[in-house]
Amino acid sequence: MSSTKKYTAQDLKAFLDGSFIGDPTEARSFCEQNMNPKLVRFAAGGDRTDFERAVEKVGFFRANCKKWDAEVKFFAQDGNKIAARLILYIAVGEDPEKKMELMFMAELDEAGRYLNLWEQGTDYLGGEE
């Protein structure tokens, strides 16, 4: 990206917050604003998500997430690539609240939307926050 938007930890947090909190009927417009239509998201363990599945997931989480509280502990940007580490508390549906660690990497398109995402989320095992 020649004129890459400077992202901040707050920008990433706002994107993730919007993925879990908000009106489920506005999931598509949120995704269209923030994600490239050619989006590919990979999660450790083999889960692969395209744009249409991302719309479904955002709608699901917005409808069923009972708690979402995330803090960005590390954030870096190099051109159109970002990397972050987050500690979060999440409760979805009837599942109990969990404390998790999320490692997040992304590639942005020319418009600053997410094009490729890589995530690894695990139960928080302790250590340095």
Reported as a single tens digit per residue, the pLDDT across 62-116 is 999 999 999 999 999 999 999 999 999 999 999 999 999 999 999 999 999 999 9
Q: Look at residue 4 and tell me if it is in a domain.
A: no
Q: What is the mean pLDDT of the chain?
A: 94
Q: Look at residue 19 and tell me if it is in a domain.
A: yes
Statement: residue 32 has pLDDT above 60: yes
pLDDT at position 4 is 66
Q: Look at residue 3 and tell me if it is in a domain.
A: no
Domain total for the chain?
1
pLDDT at position 45 is 83
pLDDT at position 54 is 97
Assign 6 a pLDDT band (cuts: 50, 70, 90): confident
Statement: residue 1 has pLDDT above 50: no
Residue 107 and residue 96 in contact, taking contact as beta carbons nearer than 8 Å: no
User: Is the pTM above the cut of 0.85?
Assistant: yes
What is the arithmetic mean of pLDDT over 31-40?
98
User: For the chain, what is the HEC assignment?
Assistant: CCCCCCCCHHHHHHHHHHHHCCCHHHHHHHHHHHEEEEEEEEECCCCEEEHHHHHHHHHHHHHHEEEEEEEEEEEEEECCEEEEEEEEEEEECCCCCEEEEEEEEEEECCCCCEEEEEEEEEECCCCCC
Q: Look at residue 64 and tell me if it is in a domain.
A: yes
CA atoms within 13 A on the CB side of 10: 1
Q: Which domain holds residue 80?
A: 9-123
Instruction: State the CATH number of the domain containing residue 51.
Output: 3.10.450.50
Q: Look at residue 57 and tell me if it is in a domain.
A: yes
Statement: residue 59 has pLDDT above 70: yes
Residue 74 vs residues 44, 98, 117: alpha-carbon distances, Å: 19, 20, 17
**Among residues of the chain, what percentage have pLDDT more than 90?**
88
Q: Look at residue 129 and tell me if it is in a domain.
A: no
Q: Look at residue 25 and tell me if it is in a domain.
A: yes
What is the arithmetic mean of pLDDT over 38-44?
94
Q: Look at residue 2 and tell me if it is in a domain.
A: no
